[in-house]
Structure 1
Amino acid sequence: MRESRTSRERTVPRLARLAAGLALTASALLCATGSGSAARDPLPADIPDYQAALAAVKSPAVLDAVCRFLGVPLPEGGAPAPLEVPDEAEPCAGLPAFKLKDPLPVNEITPGFVSGQVKPTAAEAVKLTHLVSSLDVAVNNRQATVMLAPSEGGGWHLAAVRDGDGDAVHAGKAELGSLVFSEPQIRAWYQLKLLTVTPLNEQARQGLDGRASMTLADYQKLVQERYADKLGGSDYDNKGFSSGYATASRVAEHDTSSAPLVLGGSGAALVLAGGAFLLHRRRRTTG
């Protein structure tokens, strides 16, 4: 009897150690799985008022705006003048079913970083300017991206619908421990990990003068050379040589309603002018 009790006493600690080991293994696997998921998808915590952003991309008004955009064929080579988009009662009728993906954050370089007034740190170099959401499926062989701008007092509103899904694709490349940001003036996308900047597209590779990577401090010197004399309010801007240095957030500051507005950059965008939806192409210049 004594031997049996001793055997049980030895077995219980072994079982306890085994259970603890399995628990630690499961925890490690769960953490690895969680890290992998976070590496693929930007965390919703990075987006203020995330539930409001989700509600916006699922709202009938935004879906109708996308359908109006998709309902007008894009002219080859661009249109010489804005094209009026018909104001149909049921703009989604006749189009294949689609949904908008969960919104993703878009970070852009800040004017302070460009001017050299702030140090080259992640917190000072880039900031969240708007959100993007693309279609879950192509509609009639076309993709589209919705841009959401922050509303005064909180929340998000529709700012534009753009052709293609490039912005959403690049914004979705954010990984755990890194930050994806845009240099919108040249349509360049970069990844910032610690203090190292690496290009994510061809425009970014050209933006780094062909280098595979560089420090954030060196990158700041490059954008200073490109834009420091072209910031909003500069002589270059005031003389009307270009739109000056403007982020998407600066454009959105001029509109606090839910109406779509012009978004600079190449490509087609859905806008609202004089109460009518218009489709036009615009290219931002930097020099």
Structure 2
Amino acid sequence: MRNAKFNNAAKFTAATLIGGTVLMGGNAAFAAGPSSDEAAAAKVASSAAAQQRIGQFFVHLDQHNRGQVTNQAVPQAAIAAKAPKLEGAVHPVYSLNPEFVKGTPNAPVAQFAYMAVGAKSATGQHATVWLTKSGAEWTIMNVISGTEEAVYPAKADGGQVFTEPQIHAWYRLKDGRVTALNDTAKTSVKQGVTVGSYQKLVHGRYADKLPGSAYQRSGKLGGFSPTTGVSDRTPDRGPAPVLLALGAGGLVTAAGVVMARRRRTPGSY
């Protein structure tokens, strides 16, 4: 199973759970980052500081897998031995748009959330680096194990790939249809559905969980199964995905959802 980045993950997740939403950069209407942004994000991800951070993550991942505490200092030699390298290109990651869920006319299905690029250690571990823009600068927001956020966005095939992070689903939007890219998405849309049908689907799932709803006020932050609509735990996925209230005029960040879902050891991962 995959685990969230050790550095500040607990604090970020807690803030997300308390607030119900984290607005990415304070802007509710992100557009796709242009190629210049992708190049700038790639430059940051390949910097010496980033390689240090990714290498440290891989060392901590080893410690976590051995059942050791992961908040201890990491020797520079251990970081250097990981010799992380980026894999593939930087891609924008899109996430389900709460305005689309509401049924706002002409609202896009998904909106830009962050940039992602894969990384690999010299010992064969894989991770994904998430980058967000602060002002004019791109910064590393998170590093997580696994490669989904780097691999799926590369499958656009002339369309747009987006995630419904509340249920850990990945879709392709192309020619007015939403089709599945992973098994969870297939549970939702099977062989594919029209945009209108998908809107009805997610409206039914989340419309009563938007800001100001009784759901949000009650503080209910539970798992969600696309099949049953109730909390679900499965051995191969760990804790049930956390379903947060969709953002107050903005996006509930995939980052907060995924970190909450993947963090398994309090205070570390």
After TM superposition, is the score higher than 0.5? Answer: yes
Helix, strand or coil: the match of 1:49?
A: helix
> What amino acid does structure 2 have at the position aligned with 1:215?
T
- What is the rounded CA distance, in whole Å, between the counterparts of 1:134 and 1:191 in structure 2? 20
Q: Does 1:159 align with 2:159?
A: no
Which residue is equivalent to 1:114? 101
Q: Does 1:182 align with 2:163?
A: yes
Q: Does 1:171 align with 2:153?
A: yes
- Structure number with greater Rg is 1
Cα distance per residue 1:87-142 (max 9 Å; x no partner): 545662222452354311111111100111234x6xx211111111102x454232
- What is the rounded CA distance, in whole Å, between the counterparts of 2:186 and 2:56 in structure 1? 35
Scaled by the length of structure 1, what TM-score is found? 0.64
User: Which runs of 5 or more structure 2 residues have no equivalent in the other structure?
Assistant: 1-31, 222-242
Cα distance per residue 1:149-189 (max 9 Å; x no partner): 121x233211110010012111110112x111111111111
The 1:91–1:228 alpha-carbon spacing in structure 2 relative to 1, beyond 3 Å, is farther
Kept in 2, the 8 Å contact 1:104–1:131? The answer is yes
Which residue is equivalent to 1:236? 215
The 1:48–1:96 alpha-carbon spacing in structure 2 relative to 1, beyond 3 Å, is closer
Cα distance per residue 1:218-237 (max 9 Å; x no partner): 00000011111112343212
- What is the rounded CA distance, in whole Å, between the counterparts of 1:196 and 1:111 in structure 2? 19
Kept in 2, the 8 Å contact 1:114–1:228? The answer is yes
The alpha carbon displacement at 1:252 in A equals 9.1
Q: Does 1:215 align with 2:202?
A: no
Q: Which runs of 4+ in 1 moved over 4 A?
A: 44-48, 87-91, 246-253
- What is the rounded CA distance, in whole Å, between the counterparts of 1:74 and 1:203 in structure 2? 30
Q: Work out the percentage of aligned pairs sharing the same amino acid.
A: 28
Moved more, 213-222 or 153-162: 153-162
Kept in 2, the 8 Å contact 1:159–1:252? The answer is no
Scaled by the length of structure 2, what TM-score is found? 0.68
Kept in 2, the 8 Å contact 1:236–1:244? The answer is no
Cα distance per residue 1:61-81 (max 9 Å; x no partner): 2211111110022646x97x9
User: Which runs of 5 or more structure 1 residues have no equivalent in the other structure?
Assistant: 1-43, 254-260, 270-277, 281-287
- What is the rounded CA distance, in whole Å, between the counterparts of 2:44 and 2:100 in structure 1? 31
> What amino acid does structure 1 have at the position aligned with 2:245?
Y
Aligned residues: 214
Which residue is equivalent to 2:90? 103
The 1:184–1:156 alpha-carbon spacing in structure 2 relative to 1, beyond 3 Å, is same
